[in-house]
Structure 1
Amino acid sequence: RGVLYCVIIPVVCIRFFFNPIGMQKRKTLENRDPLLQAVAARIRALREGKGIAQEVFAYEAGIDRSYYGGIERGKYSPTAINLAKIAVALGVEVGELFPTCEVLRDLLRIEQS
């Protein structure tokens, strides 16, 4: 029993202090990429234009409510599958979830600088 505690407690402490948010690091974009922000704003505008509450929309799209909220805030980068679910729930083509080509060009130019 003592050996078990000698192994588990240090491992838990190391895990907590050196990686407190664990797996979320892969999904969270700390710098809030301008392109991701533009896509998030477009998705939110389309949803609000339909007059659908965020929670109701997430349910209709089959996406976890809190994860969908993160997509609209530009916190999470949605997968192609989730983009397809969002587009279907909004009744639009997937390409309509993105800003215009001109806006995208400007955003990509900013990123390359």
Structure 2
Amino acid sequence: MKEMLDEVEAIISIKTQNVKRYKKGLDLSYVSQYGRYFTVCMELKSLETWETCLRLIHKYKLVRSDVQYDSKSKYFQSVMTMERREYPGVITEKTRNEIIEYMKLLEWKLEQFTNEKT
């Protein structure tokens, strides 16, 4: 995620410099007025798109990084023990779904750590 943010920020700085350069180039007379304005408009639109992309990446980074990880093994063990007493040999769908969601969260976190190390 960090590499993606760095790349997008680099692209945004390049686009910002291009916009400044094209705005200064409006004073030059060797290119038609319409061509210059069109180029500036296209660069501004591209810059706006990349800034929107950066905000979206920051949003998802905050969502994923602010997750609190607490150990749920004792909770799942007590729930499964209680369910076995009530219904021998059966684990309810709700408990199964909670375990699967927790496993997905842990797998995602493990994948993120292994990607950061490489």
Larger radius of gyration: 2
- TM-score of the aligned structures, taking structure 2 as reference length: 0.29
**Which structure's relative contact order is higher, taking Cα pairs within 8 Å and 6+ residues apart?**
1
The structure carrying a bigger helix percent of its residues is 2
